Structure 1
Amino acid sequence: MRAIVMKEFGGPEVLRLDEVPDLQPRAGHHLLRVSRSGVNYADVHVRGNTYLAPVELPYVPGNEVVGSTADGRRFVGLTKGGGYAEQAHLHRRVAWSVPDDITDDQAVCLALQGQSAWHILFTAAQVAPGDRVVIPAAGGGLGSLAVQLAKAAGATVIALASTEEKRLLAANLGADATIDSTSENLAAEILDAADGPVTVALEMTGGPELAAVLNALAPRGRLAVYGFASGRQADLPLRPLMEKSITVSGFWLPNLYSDRNALPASMEKLFTAVRTGSLRTITGGVFPLAEAATAHSTLAARTHTGKLSLSTAN
Structure 2
Amino acid sequence: MRAVQITEFGGPEVMDIVDLPDPTPGPGQQLYEVSSAGVNFADTHQIENSYLAQQQLPLVPGAEFVGTPVGGGQRVIGLLDGGGYAEKVVAHDFLTWAVPEGVSDEQALAVVLQGATAWHLLRTSTHLAEGESVVVIAGAGGVGSLAVQLAKEWGAGRVIATASSAEKRALCEDLGADATVDPALAEEDPKNFTAALREANGGRRVDIVLEMTGGKVFDGAMSALAPFGRLAAYGMAGRVPPKPVQAPSLMGTSRAVIGFWLAHCMARPAMMDAAMHDLLPMVADGRLKPVVGGRYPLSDVRTAHEDLLARRSTGKLVLDPAG
**1:38, 1:108 within 8 Å by CA — same for their partners in 2?**
yes
Aligned to 1:211: 219
1: CA distance, partners of 2:60 / 2:2: 11
Cα deviation, residue 258, structure 1: 2.5
Task: State the SS of the aligned residue for 2:8.
Answer: coil
**1:93, 1:257 within 8 Å by CA — same for their partners in 2?**
no
Q: Please tell me whether residue 89 in structure 1 is matched to residue 96 in structure 2.
A: no
TM-score by length of 2: 0.95
Q: Please tell me whether residue 120 in structure 1 is matched to residue 121 in structure 2.
A: yes
**1:6, 1:60 within 8 Å by CA — same for their partners in 2?**
yes
2: CA distance, partners of 1:96 / 1:264: 8
**2:219, 2:242 within 8 Å by CA — same for their partners in 1?**
no
Which of 274, 295, 299 does residue 290 from structure 1 map onto?
299
2: CA distance, partners of 1:145 / 1:30: 29
Amino acid at match of 1:164: A
Amino acid at match of 1:186: F
2: CA distance, partners of 1:28 / 1:205: 37
Amino acid at match of 2:318: S
Aligned to 1:78: 79
Amino acid at match of 2:128: V
Task: State the SS of the aligned residue for 1:54.
Answer: coil
Which of 183, 190, 197 does residue 190 from structure 1 map onto?
197
Q: Please tell me whether residue 311 in structure 1 is matched to residue 320 in structure 2.
A: yes
1: CA distance, partners of 2:134 / 2:25: 45
Amino acid at match of 1:223: L
1:217-273 CA deviation, whole Å, 9 max, x = no partner? 001111100010000112433243222111111000010112232111210110111
1: CA distance, partners of 2:21 / 2:285: 41
**2:198, 2:205 within 8 Å by CA — same for their partners in 1?**
yes
Aligned to 2:177: 175
2: CA distance, partners of 1:211 / 1:226: 15
**2:149, 2:175 within 8 Å by CA — same for their partners in 1?**
yes
**2:126, 2:230 within 8 Å by CA — same for their partners in 1?**
yes
Q: Please tell me whether residue 246 in structure 1 is matched to residue 234 in structure 2.
A: no
Cα deviation, residue 30, structure 1: 2.2
Amino acid at match of 1:17: I
1: CA distance, partners of 2:25 / 2:272: 24
**Count of aligned positions:** 314
Q: Please tell me whether residue 273 in structure 1 is matched to residue 286 in structure 2.
A: no
**2:95, 2:269 within 8 Å by CA — same for their partners in 1?**
no
Aligned to 2:140: 139
Amino acid at match of 2:2: R
**2:159, 2:179 within 8 Å by CA — same for their partners in 1?**
yes
Amino acid at match of 2:109: V
Task: State the SS of the aligned residue for 2:280.
Answer: helix
Task: State the SS of the aligned residue for 1:261.
Answer: helix
Which deviates more, 227-236 or 170-179? 227-236
1:124-169 CA deviation, whole Å, 9 max, x = no partner? 0111211101001101111100000001111110000001111000
Aligned to 2:160: 158
1: CA distance, partners of 2:250 / 2:295: 41
TM-score by length of 1: 0.98
1: CA distance, partners of 2:3 / 2:215: 35
Cα deviation, residue 121, structure 1: 1.1
2: CA distance, partners of 1:261 / 1:47: 29
Q: Give unmatched runs, 5+ long, in structure 2.
A: none
1: CA distance, partners of 2:311 / 2:154: 27
Q: Give unmatched runs, 5+ long, in structure 1.
A: none
Amino acid at match of 1:163: S
1:19-76 CA deviation, whole Å, 9 max, x = no partner? 1111233321121111111111111111111111111100000001111112232111
Amino acid at match of 1:277: G
Identity of aligned residues (%): 46
1: CA distance, partners of 2:312 / 2:63: 22
Amino acid at match of 1:166: K
